[in-house]
Amino acid sequence: MSALFEPYTLREVTIPNRVWMPPMCQYSAAPEGPLTGAPHDWHFAHYAARATGGTGLIVVEATAVSPEGRISPYDLGLWNDTQAEAFRRITGFLAAQGTVSAIQLAHAGRKASTDRPWKGGAPVGSEAHGWQPLAPSPVAFDDSHPVPDELTVDRIREIVEQFAAAARRALDAGFEIVEIHGAHGYLINEFLSPHSNHRTDAYGGSYENRTRFALEVVDAVRAVWPDDKPLFFRISATDWLEESGWSPDDTVRFAGELHAHGVDLLDVSTGGNASGVRIPVGPGYQVPFAARVRAETPMPVAAVGLITDAEQAAKIVANGEADAVLLGRELLRNPSWPRLAARELGGEVRVPKQYHRSV
């Protein structure tokens, strides 16, 4: 059997295979009213289709820990119990299919309050359900974004607690794994990188200070997340800046520290914190960053980034470059990719009885 279809255990959670779905925002939640930020039929159908297609682990899209932490007014949230209750329909169905459910907890920072991508993704104001973004420093993402409000230390501590509260609700909602979003130019990534963090207090300046907020979030979430359940962290391994940015060396150093603080797997992506950079996009272009973390630290890793065919995915796992692969666009195109890949490689995935004709 291909290593791609071997089970993988972290703490006491066993994932049936190494084909995983990364968080991909759907921008489809209600922007106002009693069900603001709650998943509904679209989200259920979206995640259910990939579960019936054989995906071993599904990471639910970036879910905000507070209203102002959303990327757009149409993002999912987990800052109240109504939202947690709505997620149970999804986690229950995924569990019935043998798929492990995870959720990415996030705060968008200075990249918050934007429109949906198919509407252009530009910043929106109060007339379109928008709000004033927050960030480590009053530095706009680019010329089209507003200058965010600089977070006070009291507000930083409040956001740390919001992550912990969201993790408690994630457990109540039935999730088996929590992932902390520290990538793609959102709030935690903004603190990590000197490109976006210009603070002069205990949360800025040195590497130790810039990583302080991220580690405080990890510690707060780990304190409320059960010891038998894994905790993931998503990171941008590089800002793709030659100078003054977060680097692959920083990522390797930080991976060891995250592992010591109770993170069980690093979900390795890149970019998103600096506008206008040139990224050499190509098949598997981010895999080497994951492979380096896995080789140089005790941290397990998942690789992502234009992984599209079965042989390519299988080799990444078999060669020890990553412990699992995350397929984004390919699973959007083909929810049954894992089943088809298993047939091609001689592996096995669970097939719903109702789909017995497809075996």
Q: CA torsion, points 151, 153, 155, 156, in degrees to nearest 10? A: 90
> How many Å apart are CA 223 and CA 212, to the nearest integer?
16
167: left (phi over 0), alpha (psi -120 to 50) or beta: alpha
Using alpha carbons, list the distances in angstroms from residue 68 to 65, 114, 125, 149: 8, 11, 12, 12
Q: Which two tokens stand for residue 342?
A: 């298993």
Residues 6 or more apart whose Cβ sits within 8 Å of residue 308: 283, 327, 329, 330
- Contacts of 172 by beta carbon, 8 Å cutoff, 6+ apart: 81, 84
Task: Give me 110's structure tokens.
Answer: 């200075």
Task: At 349, list the tokens.
Answer: 């995935």
Q: Which of 186, 203, 207, 355 is catalytic?
A: 186
Active site residue 355: no
The strand pairing partners of 301, in sequence order, are: 266
Helix H or strand E encompassing 134: strand 134-135
Active site residues: 186
